[in-house]
């Protein structure tokens, strides 16, 4: 689900008054009134289904927000207060049970088999029921030890040896062993499964050859040396490996579940702080797992995840039953808007050009992007993006892409053998049924026709089929939204690597591959400088067309709940949530406010 503040994030998140509107363009088609970004589709990075209209979402939000705040201010505040709205949790009925939480997700099918999951909402759910060697720090998203009690790194940085906690158990009480990890990882990358995140394992020695069918599982560098010792051998040093291991794809699977293809038939045996006790189309009920290794620190005994439409979600909030809306909501119907929280994500909405003939010639792609009206394309977006990677602190600034030069574009196209567009095929845009997708793709198509003589046509695919359709081919231009799974540029750039099963653009560039390979042999600032060079090359050669950075929008009662913090990945581990002892009076800041308690929470987690 999923990269998410940044020096570049200075654009206001509120629109000027003249541009405010009640609901985003395309909202009717998308079934949205106001759509929190936290519930978008995920990817390794996580894909965001509503990313194409994320700026319009903020247009819808602007009447509900007080004034106009920058992303940094929104993050620091954690929430924005609506003028005239009932301002504090006391305006809604208080929860009677202080250890039971109801959360609202958007109504959508749920894939419980994390090997095949790609939705951000599933990634959030998985923080409750699955856990790997490391998990996410709730504030910084840095890796914190989970099932790994300790670990050693070889002198050459390529071999990691993990010791699994002695009290690590599955939800049925069975011990979790090193062999469970080995078996699970091999299952996820097995040839033919085509798990969305299987290419994440390519860092591991022999993993890529196995998943592509070029070799057997015996050459994969994952070895179980006894029940509690797991050895992982990498192709090259990777200082960010623990961060990657936070992703749910690296969780262990109970031996009895490995061969099960449909995990919706019965609650799966899991290993997180909670287990599923009940599930149907309307809700999933989670209860605290008595066998969880750190059960004593888990405050909640029960979590009910409700799947609801926009109006029902707002009604559950207004009644006090739900303290967190992670999915869509009708913000106009909220009687208490104090819980609206907006903060920047390490995520980007972009279009991409597939590298199929004749677009496999980067001169053709470069010509296409030079002809684009960048300012107009990004004009309705609150966080316009010139780069693919939402800049992290310490990550080098790059020029990005935003130059419009039709004359140069025409010359490049002629050099590639298509003077005046002659011989170019009709380009097919595959888009969602949103008005914003139609607007942007229309601007692109119009510019290509006017300046280059290249014709286009639109192919509209329903939202629930869109991302699957991107893997089928038969088009030249598509769109996506991507949220990183850990705060590192690699979590974006790996998507464009040759052979990655996340590479819908079919990007294949020897120079890009050399830079990515070089970065794997570097560390610190030198590594990030190389990744920045690779990103600029990706942009210069016209494979990716960044439109906007993504915000996260949640409705969350942090006056009742603690342990929830705005963070760049938009992931909020359930195990850290608890009820406050009492709600504050209006105008009183508790020590546990998200912005106030962050440092203390970090220290507490570090001591565990």
> Could you tell me the pTM of the whole model?
0.80
- All domains of the chain in start order, with CATH: 108-303 (3.90.76.10), 345-550 (3.10.105.10)
Q: Comparing C-alpha atoms, which of 369, 372, 375, 378 is closest to residue 436? A: 378
Least confident of 96-105, 339-348, 586-595: 586-595
Cα 120 from Cα 246, distance rounded (Å): 15
C-alpha dihedral, 487 to 493 to 499 to 505, nearest 10°: 120
Q: What is the pLDDT of residues 481-535, one digit of tens each?
A: 999 988 899 999 999 999 888 899 999 999 999 999 999 889 899 999 999 999 9
pLDDT at 5 > cutoff 90: no
Distance of CA 103 to the CA centre of its chain: 19
Q: Which residues pair with 343 in a beta bridge?
A: 552
- Measure the CA–CA gap between 466 and 507, rounded to whole angstroms: 20
Percent of the chain with pLDDT over 90: 72
What length is written for the chain? 608
Return the pLDDT at 471.
87
Structure tokens at 357: 């003939």
* Mean predicted confidence (pLDDT) in 430-436: 96
CA 50 to chain centre: 12
pLDDT of residue 38: 33
DSSP H or E stretch at residue 531: helix 524-540
Round to whole Å and give the CA distance between 161 and 283. Answer: 39
DSSP labels, 482-511:
EE-SSSSTHHHHGGGSTT-TT-TT----HH
Cβ–Cβ under 8 Å, residues 516 and 493: yes
Coil, strand, or helix at residue 556?
Answer: strand
Q: What is the C-alpha separation between 182 and 222, in angstroms, rounded?
A: 6
For residue 600, what are its two tokens?
A: 């203390």
Backbone φ and ψ of 17, nearest 5°: -50, -35
pLDDT digits (tens, 9 = 90+) for 187-214: 999 998 989 899 999 999 999 999 999 9
Cis peptide preceding 358, ω within 30 of 0: yes
User: What is the Cα gyration radius of the chain?
Assistant: 24
Residues 119-176 pLDDT 10s: 889 999 999 999 999 999 999 999 999 999 999 999 999 999 999 999 999 999 999 9
Instruction: Determine the average pLDDT of the residues in 6-11.
Output: 28
Give the per-residue pLDDT at 296: 96
What's the CA gap between 349 and 592, in Å, rounded? Answer: 34
Beta bridge partners of 306: 104, 283
Query: Nearest Cα to 521, choosing from 236, 239, 204?
Result: 236
> What residues have CB less than 8 Å from 95, skipping those under 6 apart?
101, 320, 323, 560, 579
Side-chain half-sphere of 74: how many Cα atoms within 13 Å?
A: 33
Q: Is 152 helix (H, G, I), strand (E, B) or coil?
A: strand
Model confidence at 30: pLDDT above 50: no
Least trusted range by pLDDT, from 69-83, 289-303, 353-367, 582-596:
69-83
Q: Which two tokens stand for residue 63?
A: 């009447």
């Amino acid at each position: 689900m999923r990269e998410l503040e940044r020096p570049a994030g200075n654009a206001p998140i509120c629109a000027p008054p003249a541009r405010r509107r009640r609901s985003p363009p395309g909202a009717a088609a998308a079934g949205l009134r106001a759509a929190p970004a936290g519930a978008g589709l995920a990817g390794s990075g996580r894909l965001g289904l509503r990313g194409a209209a994320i700026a319009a979402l903020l247009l819808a939000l602007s009447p509900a927000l007080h004034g106009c705040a920058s992303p940094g201010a929104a993050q620091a505040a954690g929430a924005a207060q609506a003028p005239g709205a009932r301002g504090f949790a006391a305006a809604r009925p208080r929860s009677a049970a202080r250890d039971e939480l109801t959360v609202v997700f958007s109504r959508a099918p749920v894939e419980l088999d994390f090997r095949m999951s790609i939705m951000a909402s599933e990634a959030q759910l998985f923080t409750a029921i699955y856990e790997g060697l490391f998990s996410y720090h709730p504030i910084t998203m840095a890796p914190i030890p989970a099932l790994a009690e300790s670990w050693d790194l070889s002198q050459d940085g390529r071999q990691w040896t993990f010791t699994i906690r002695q009290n690590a158990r599955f939800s049925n009480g069975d011990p979790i062993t090193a062999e469970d990890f080995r078996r699970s990882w091999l299952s996820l990358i097995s040839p033919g499964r085509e798990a969305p995140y299987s290419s994440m394992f390519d860092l591991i020695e022999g993993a890529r050859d196995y998943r592509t069918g070029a070799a057997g599982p015996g050459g994969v560098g994952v070895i179980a040396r006894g029940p509690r010792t797991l050895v992982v051998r990498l192709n090259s040093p990777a200082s960010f490996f623990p961060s990657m291991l936070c992703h749910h794809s690296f969780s262990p699977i109970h031996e009895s579940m490995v061969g099960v293809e449909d995990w919706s038939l019965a609650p799966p045996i899991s290993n997180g702080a909670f287990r599923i006790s009940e599930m149907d189309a309307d809700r999933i009920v989670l209860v605290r797992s008595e066998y969880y290794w750190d059960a004593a620190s888990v405050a909640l005994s029960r979590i009910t995840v409700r799947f609801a439409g926009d109006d029902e979600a707002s009604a559950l909030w207004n009644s006090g039953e739900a303290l967190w809306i992670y999915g869509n909501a009708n913000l106009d119907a909220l009687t208490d808007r104090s819980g609206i929280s907006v903060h920047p994500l390490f995520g980007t909405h972009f279009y991409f050009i597939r590298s199929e003939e004749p677009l496999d010639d980067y001169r053709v792609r470069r010509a296409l992007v030079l002809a684009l009206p960048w300012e107009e394309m990004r004009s309705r977006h609150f966080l316009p993006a010139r780069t693919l990677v939402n800049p992290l602190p310490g990550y080098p600034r790059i020029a990005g892409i935003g130059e419009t030069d039709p004359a140069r574009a025409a010359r490049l196209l002629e050099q590639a053998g298509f003077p005046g567009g002659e011989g170019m095929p009709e380009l097919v845009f595959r888009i969602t049924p949103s008005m914003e997708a139609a607007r942007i793709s229309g601007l692109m198509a119009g510019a290509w026709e006017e300046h280059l003589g290249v014709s286009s046509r639109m192919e509209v695919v329903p939202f629930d089929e869109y991302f699957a359709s991107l893997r089928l081919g038969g088009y030249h231009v598509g769109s996506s939204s991507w949220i990183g799974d850990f705060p590192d540029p690699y979590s974006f750039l790996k998507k464009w690597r040759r052979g990655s099963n996340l590479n819908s653009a079919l990007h294949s560039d020897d120079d890009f591959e050399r830079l990515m390979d070089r970065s794997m042999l570097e560390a610190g600032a030198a590594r990030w400088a190389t990744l920045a060079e690779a990103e600029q090359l990706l942009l210069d050669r016209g494979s990716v067309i960044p439109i906007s950075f993504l915000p996260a929008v949640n409705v969350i009662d942090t006056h009742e709940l603690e342990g929830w913090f705005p963070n760049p990945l938009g992931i909020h581990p359930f195990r850290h949530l608890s009820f406050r002892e009492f709600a504050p009076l209006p105008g009183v800041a508790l020590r546990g406010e998200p912005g106030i308690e962050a440092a203390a929470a970090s220290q507490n987690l570090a001591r565990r």
